[in-house]
Structure 1
Amino acid sequence: MDGSTTPAVRGDLPWDASYPAGLDWRTPVPERPLHSLVDEACAAFPHHPCLDFYGRRTTYRQVARLIDRAARGLQDRGVGKGCKVALLLPNCPYSVIAFHAILKAGGTVVNLNPLAPAAELAHQIDDSETELLVTLDLVPFRDKLAQIGWPGRLRAVVVARMADALPFPKNWLYPLLKRRDVARFPEDERHVPFRRLLANRGDPRPVAVEPRADAAVLQYTGGTTGVPKGTVLTHAGLYANTMQCRRWFTGADPGRERVLAVLPFFHVFGMTGVMNFALALGAELILLPRVDVREILDTVQRKRPTIFSGVPRLFQAIVGFPRLSRYDLSSLRLCVSGGDSLPPLLLERFQKLTGAYLAEGYGLTEASPVVTCNPFDGLNKPGSAGPPLPGTMVEIVSLDDRCTPQPQGRVGEICVSGPQVMAGYWKDAAATAEAMAGGHLHTGDIGFLDEDGYLHIVDRLKDLIVAGGQHVYPRAVEAVIKRHPLIADAAVVGEPDPVRGQTIRAFVVPQPGSTLSEAELRAFLADRLSRFEQPQRIEFRTALPTSTIGKILKRDLIPERPPEKPGSDDREISRPATR
């Protein structure tokens, strides 16, 4: 199947008048197998570099060839349509090659976070019905697998050698200089070297993929306030969202861009917004397997990337780096912030220091993930998440009945429809029905559309605090607390109260060396927050628990929080307007 989806919309849309010049929201979105991204890029840019991993550069033709060989190797080991294959990998060439090889073999990718607890990974492997798993020959991955065991249907582990991904002479030196980091795996039928997977002519058997019906990825939600759910993302949905992002980057030059890949590909933001977006653009992916600010700055200066996506905490770490002026960051042109709130002052500072254009948007796992983004050619509104991407409908419904449409400027629950929306939650029909009630995705986020059709995020529906009958938005309170010059970070949550329903509790992190007292902070908040917004309890912490991409894990602050509702807590690119 190779069709397209045309949005069926009548009349004017709130964002029509402010949409970027040259872009038509109503342009049909193609429906194709997700792995066709590599074939299309290889046909257009066969000799252009595709991957750069610590100096080892691989062209699109070479990557396409490796994918074909890996796909055939997987098929020879029983991978076919619907077979689940998990990836337990950092950003490296294997994470790109194995991802698209699984899809080409007919399988479904199950993305696993290597930093997740072993019990959570074991549950996901079992729940997803994963049969094969791909990982690296490094001690942390071997130890994690030893803790996980062999849950469910898991029958084999494919082990890739880190040394084989490195250029000469690093590939020779790595096993010697890093021998304590290199893990030995048993030599048996349960452990398959990645090299053996590639030992064929590269002629995978064709698989008839139905883009709308077939799952490409089973992506477990972040679960920042509850148990992660498996989100079924189809070939059509992921391909559509990738192409929506490519259209949105109006200033990008196909075949000539270099994308710095720091966000992990096992996360939906990094998977679509970095890896697959770069492949759709024919760009070179500069791969970094970990987040290290010094290494990122060194890489920008040496490798000269032009596009960079990150989270606010990463951008904050960059602008606050002690010797930032020593680095030349002028190659950066187009940047995207996601995963959490981006304060306007941080946006302004980053753009001033680098000369790059920094856009902010909004998304969630269930939307593959990108929903809205500030345009690269048009009005960039600090405090907003921008208008919807082409073919994406955003509606605001009443918080009371979750179905009555709200006018522009009125706060309500954000609902999304479009070709990138999930097929549903894996083996959870009840959660799927609740999340998709009314024929659109209920995001569980609170926000509004302004006069230009730009989306503003106010808060998470499940984080809303009702204290004495008054609605309190935690992010609004957090934003005020962070205005204090001696506060580095803050999180606000609601606690059960027999009289008021809920009370407000604030967790704050002072700046290093600060002697700020609770009385001084309360005095600062006294005339900046209303009476019902004032925290009843303030607790000082040295740090707040965060997820892989830097979102605060409020469930770890108060573990007894109530169960989550659909959709998930994996909000990829969001910023509350009140910050």
Structure 2
Amino acid sequence: MTTQVEAPDHIRPWIASYPEGINWQDEIDTTPVHEQVLAACARNPSAVALDFLGGTTSFGELAKKIVAFAGALQSQYGVKKGSRVALMLPNTPFYPIAYYGVLRAGGTVVNCNPLYTVSELSHITANAGADIMVTLDLKQIYDKGEALLEAGHVKSLVVCHFPDALPLAKKVLFSLFKRKDLTNPFQSPHAGKIRAFNDLIHANATPSAVVIDSKTDIAVQQYTGGTTGLPKGALLTHANIAANMSQIDKWGCGLFYPPSKVVAVLPFFHIFAMTVCMNVPLCNGTPVIMLPRFELKALLDLLTRTKANVLPAVPTLLSAIARADTAKAEQLASLEVAISGGAALPDEVRNAFAKKSKALLAEGYGLTEASPVVCCAALRVPSKPMSIGMPLPGTDIRFVDVDTQREVGIGENGELQVKGPQVMSGYHEDREASAGAFHDGWLRTGDVGHIDEDGYVFLVDRIKDLIICSGFNVYPRTIEEALMTHEAVEETNVIGVKDEYRGEAPVAFVKLKEGKSVSETELKHFLAEKLNKIETPKEIVFKDALPKTLIGKLSKKELREEYAQRKAGKA
């Protein structure tokens, strides 16, 4: 199934700057992702699909397990179109099997971060109406699933036995030395509501056919926006998910096809990894090399062992590689492309990474509501530095004045708004939030930036992070970029705080590099040549560590709360 991109109806300067071989008006494939992955499995069943700590799953094995799990969901749980199934799993082979199995059964995937609190998970599962949760018997994860079961937020648990994901030698070692990390779900008082994942697979039930309307049926209900209140469930149709895969595939110019190997160290339950690390490569018959979590040594060992060449990452991960003495050029030699997403990529990190690796480092941009990728730097040729690249094929963007909503000109800052086949249909059971997410049919991103005459997009900050000092707009990212150029600064995050004189004022939080020292006065003196007086931080707070979100993005929410509590304590 394909969607024809409409002919241009307003100025799109990026089209003239597109890399050779990429056409903005190409047809976009919206075939449901589970159909695509099963077709890829049929084309080359003996090829490796998944590599988990050295244990491999072929495409043929993957297909059998997907189909068997889909059959079990239908026959034993009554899953059909509209049924919500929650997945609370780290990166293991269980995740793609469960994900595609749910979709093949006609259900909707509800991703749950295993590091969320029980309270956060309760909101998501209750709001989604997810009666079934697939999880793992690692105690720190399973206990949350059982708490949800006990509270009635889910009615059934399907539990995967973690050692089954490991190659034989590691499985034996785990059983000998790590057994205390496991729990036995079948000794639970709720054992009657718990089934073993492997038992469902071994039942080998054949699923009945499900007719999917790609444009209206929901494939993934992805929760987002928890930093400003309770998370909202973005409704991503089968067409949304497939369209973004097709757009990325075209943008990659063959990058996501064999003999490429894609590293999946970012968690699949996050929309960036779900699309770029899992869906796109697997549907093209390309192996996915998984790590359950980021550890630098494990990642370097993985690259040495597998010679993987594509690394989707977040800036903090790239920074960890760049500043680590243990990360040697020969360990990174196989990397051809690193794709940075999830947060703004500081120029200092870009430059430091370039000293370690010859890989092309491309910054991309997206949001959950767009499945997620909107813009990306070229993946085969260099792009303009500090740009998030250009809109993907079939994607329209505009920048509008934050107050008047009128479109601004080339080079003028405004809110980035998006149209395209990857844009969500709305939020689950939240008409007010759904209406507020759009303006005149365009998705509001909440990000401020501009487009240049060549069609390259530059972002300066989030609208909600904008600091208004004495009537002037101050962007935290401008201050952060300046601070990052100091040799002693490893990480920084800037927030706006109330100020009696200026209304608001910036406060910078800084983590210094190990063995380095600098005073607040020295840092302010350093910034004097880079920032104007209004942009200069009112205060610089040094911390041993800066709070991050669960995928490694620097988080302002905790810093705002910490600063408010500190001021309240002094009052």
Deviation at 1:144, TM superposition (A): 2.3
Deviation at 1:146, TM superposition (A): 4.2
**Partner in structure 2 of residue 24 of structure 1:** 23
5+ residue gaps, structure 1, are: 563-579
Write out per-residue CA displacement over residues 85-108 of structure 1, whole angstroms, 9 at most, x where no aligned residue.
111110000001000000111111
Query: Of the candidates 391, 397, 401, which is equivalent to residue 398 of structure 1?
Result: 401
Q: How many residues align?
A: 560
CA distance in 1, matches of 2:500, 2:348: 40
Matched to 1:542, the amino acid is D
Deviation at 1:539, TM superposition (A): 1.8
CA distance in 1, matches of 2:319, 2:289: 21
Query: Of the candidates 343, 346, 355, which is equivalent to residue 346 of structure 2?
Result: 343
Structure 1 pair 561–134 and aligned structure 2 pair: CA distance change class (3 A) = farther
Matched to 1:547, the amino acid is T
**Partner in structure 2 of residue 531 of structure 1:** 533
Structure 1 pair 552–11 and aligned structure 2 pair: CA distance change class (3 A) = closer
**Secondary structure at 1:458's aligned position in 2?**
strand
Greater CA deviation, 108-117 or 317-326?
317-326
CA distance in 1, matches of 2:465, 2:505: 12
8 Å CA contact retained: 1:224, 1:547: no
Indicate yes or no: 2:209 matched with 1:206. Answer: yes
Indicate yes or no: 2:57 matched with 1:58. Answer: yes
Structure 1 pair 352–494 and aligned structure 2 pair: CA distance change class (3 A) = closer
Deviation at 1:398, TM superposition (A): 0.8
Matched to 1:46, the amino acid is P
Structure 1 pair 326–510 and aligned structure 2 pair: CA distance change class (3 A) = closer
Matches within 5 A, 1:62-211: 62-76=61-75, 77-151=77-151, 153-186=153-186, 188-211=191-214
8 Å CA contact retained: 2:313, 2:341: yes
Greater CA deviation, 354-363 or 90-99?
354-363
Indicate yes or no: 2:219 matched with 1:220. Answer: no
8 Å CA contact retained: 2:257, 2:281: no
**Partner in structure 2 of residue 552 of structure 1:** 554
8 Å CA contact retained: 1:7, 1:28: no
**Secondary structure at 2:16's aligned position in 1?**
helix
Greater CA deviation, 145-154 or 17-26?
145-154
Greater CA deviation, 132-141 or 215-224?
215-224
Deviation at 1:203, TM superposition (A): 1.7
CA distance in 2, matches of 1:394, 1:41: 32
**Secondary structure at 1:382's aligned position in 2?**
coil
Matches within 5 A, 1:492-571: 492-559=494-561
Deviation at 1:125, TM superposition (A): 1.0
CA distance in 2, matches of 1:488, 1:253: 33
CA distance in 1, matches of 2:292, 2:530: 42
8 Å CA contact retained: 1:243, 1:280: no
Matches within 5 A, 1:351-430: 351-401=354-404, 403-430=405-432
Matched to 1:61, the amino acid is G
CA distance in 2, matches of 1:421, 1:25: 17
Structure 1 pair 183–327 and aligned structure 2 pair: CA distance change class (3 A) = farther
**Secondary structure at 2:62's aligned position in 1?**
helix
CA distance in 2, matches of 1:49, 1:96: 14
Larger RCO: 1 or 2 (CA < 8 Å, sep 6+): 1
8 Å CA contact retained: 1:175, 1:182: no
Indicate yes or no: 2:260 matched with 1:261. Answer: no
Structure 1 pair 435–270 and aligned structure 2 pair: CA distance change class (3 A) = same
**Secondary structure at 1:325's aligned position in 2?**
coil
Structure 1 pair 305–379 and aligned structure 2 pair: CA distance change class (3 A) = closer
Write out per-residue CA displacement over residues 319-338 of structure 1, whole angstroms, 9 at most, x where no aligned residue.
22212237432221122011
Structure 1 pair 263–105 and aligned structure 2 pair: CA distance change class (3 A) = same
CA distance in 2, matches of 1:45, 1:395: 42
CA distance in 1, matches of 2:365, 2:206: 40
Matches within 5 A, 1:433-444: 433-444=435-446
CA distance in 2, matches of 1:219, 1:334: 27
**Partner in structure 1 of residue 335 of structure 2:** 332
CA distance in 1, matches of 2:449, 2:397: 11
Deviation at 1:174, TM superposition (A): 2.6
**Partner in structure 2 of residue 573 of structure 1:** none
Deviation at 1:153, TM superposition (A): 5.0
Write out per-residue CA displacement over residues 62-117 of structure 1, whole angstroms, 9 at most, x where no aligned residue.
10111000000111112111111111110000001000000111111110111112
Structure 1 pair 332–136 and aligned structure 2 pair: CA distance change class (3 A) = same
CA distance in 2, matches of 1:5, 1:382: 32
Greater CA deviation, 85-94 or 163-172?
163-172
CA distance in 1, matches of 2:529, 2:360: 36
5+ residue gaps, structure 2, are: 565-571
Deviation at 1:167, TM superposition (A): 2.2
Matched to 2:184, the amino acid is R
**Partner in structure 2 of residue 571 of structure 1:** none
8 Å CA contact retained: 1:337, 1:358: yes
CA distance in 2, matches of 1:519, 1:169: 56
Matched to 1:100, the amino acid is Y
CA distance in 1, matches of 2:227, 2:214: 30
**Partner in structure 2 of residue 475 of structure 1:** 477
**Secondary structure at 2:449's aligned position in 1?**
strand
CA distance in 1, matches of 2:303, 2:490: 27
Q: Which protein is richer in helix relative to its size? A: 2
8 Å CA contact retained: 1:45, 1:255: no
Aligned residues with identical type, % of pairs = 42
Greater CA deviation, 464-473 or 321-330?
321-330
**Partner in structure 1 of residue 569 of structure 2:** none
8 Å CA contact retained: 2:418, 2:443: yes
Deviation at 1:352, TM superposition (A): 4.5
Query: Of the candidates 446, 462, 465, which is equivalent to residue 463 of structure 1?
Result: 465
CA distance in 2, matches of 1:545, 1:304: 33
Matches within 5 A, 1:31-46: 31-46=30-45
Greater CA deviation, 537-546 or 512-521?
512-521
Matches within 5 A, 1:225-236: 225-236=228-239
Greater CA deviation, 166-175 or 253-262?
166-175
**Secondary structure at 1:371's aligned position in 2?**
strand
Query: Of the candidates 308, 313, 325, which is equivalent to residue 310 of structure 1?
Result: 313
Deviation at 1:189, TM superposition (A): 2.2
Matched to 1:446, the amino acid is V
**Partner in structure 2 of residue 447 of structure 1:** 449
**Secondary structure at 2:390's aligned position in 1?**
coil
CA distance in 1, matches of 2:183, 2:299: 27
8 Å CA contact retained: 2:24, 2:392: yes
Deviation at 1:286, TM superposition (A): 0.8
8 Å CA contact retained: 1:31, 1:211: yes
Write out per-residue CA displacement over residues 401-431 of structure 1, whole angstroms, 9 at most, x where no aligned residue.
2x21111111000000000001111111111
Structure 1 pair 93–428 and aligned structure 2 pair: CA distance change class (3 A) = same
| TM-score for both structures, normalised by structure 1 | 0.93
**Partner in structure 2 of residue 572 of structure 1:** none
